[in-house]
Structure 1
């Protein structure tokens, strides 16, 4: 049941995009880093969601903006890609995908995180955690899936 003129990238591209529907939420809850004031004290695990919780406590408006651009837009982009891949909306969904791709700031958020890790916090200690690698994979995979989908459309 596909729409006439549906964009059908290779099966691995579609499968990876479906996996992102599960992997993104896992990455948001996974520890990105462990941070602490001094090496003698325990390190606190920080994830995307705990970061948003902290931001929510201090600035609700900013927390909503970050949640929109770092969580909602990337997930909507992934859902939109899924609908395009399986012919539910066809090529007419590509303009929406381009807009969502520009709004999905997960890649910018990730770069900011790496800069924070590289600079350190001065007094304390920061260690990377497995969630940072998973989140990095999700962002890069999403960019690749978008590229391959666009490429499939152009090659039709």
Structure 2
């Protein structure tokens, strides 16, 4: 029962994480910092590189949400457990997105004139992805 509730809570927490500030970035701190969320980042990415935007949209939005829905269907007996390996793979793809965000932060912090601060949304998104991986692992054991 707890696994079901934890998994269903991700259906609410993932969309919150998509709109939450991942980063606060700007040129020198005196000019102010702009909040960047997954959604705002995707919006600007669609204007510049549609192929990359499509990949990031899949990794950040569709993969974790499809995995969460799939796990719920398994937990409620509406889908076969044989699909668990595919769902776990989707969770790992979502973790790749967290790695990319962290890599961008490291690269940008190395450029001297740019200020980047992590926002609470990065921690929420990372926690959601890790919780989803843990829930699928515990679901597999049952």
Common fold, TM-score beyond 0.5?
yes
CA distance in 2 between counterparts of 1:112 and 1:65 reads 12
* TM value normalised by structure 2: 0.89
Select 2:98's aligned residue among 95, 110, 135.
110
Structure 1 residue 31 corresponds to structure 2 residue 24: no
Deviations along 1:34-93, whole A, 9 cap, x unmatched?
001011111000011111111100011221121112211110110000000011113243
Task: Note if contact 2:67-2:91 (Cα within 8 Å) is conserved in structure 1.
Answer: yes
Asked whether the equivalents of residues 105 and 116 of structure 2 are also in contact (C-alpha less than 8 Å), the reply is: yes
**C-alpha RMSD of matched pairs (Å):** 1.6
Match of 1:86 in 2: 76
> Is the partner of 1:52 in helix, strand or coil?
helix
- For the residues of structure 1 that align with 2:136 and 2:88, how far apart are their CA atoms? 9
Q: Which one has a larger percent helix, Structure 1 or Structure 2? A: 2
Q: Which runs of 5+ in 2 are unaligned?
A: none
Change (3 A) 1:101 1:133: closer
Match of 2:58 in 1: 68
Point out the structure with max Rg over C-alpha: 1
**Structure 2 CA distance, aligned partners of 1:75 and 1:55?**
21
Determine the C-alpha separation between the residues in 2 that align with 1:50 and 1:43: 14
- The equivalences for 1:1-156 within 5 A come to 11-102=1-92, 105-119=93-107, 120=109, 121-152=111-142
Query: Is the 2:24–2:116 contact (alpha carbons within 8 Å) kept by the matching residues of 1?
Result: yes
- Could you tell me how far apart the structure 2 residues matched to 1:77 and 1:94 are? 9
* Alignment TM-score, normalising by the size of structure 1: 0.82
Size of the alignment, in residue pairs?
140
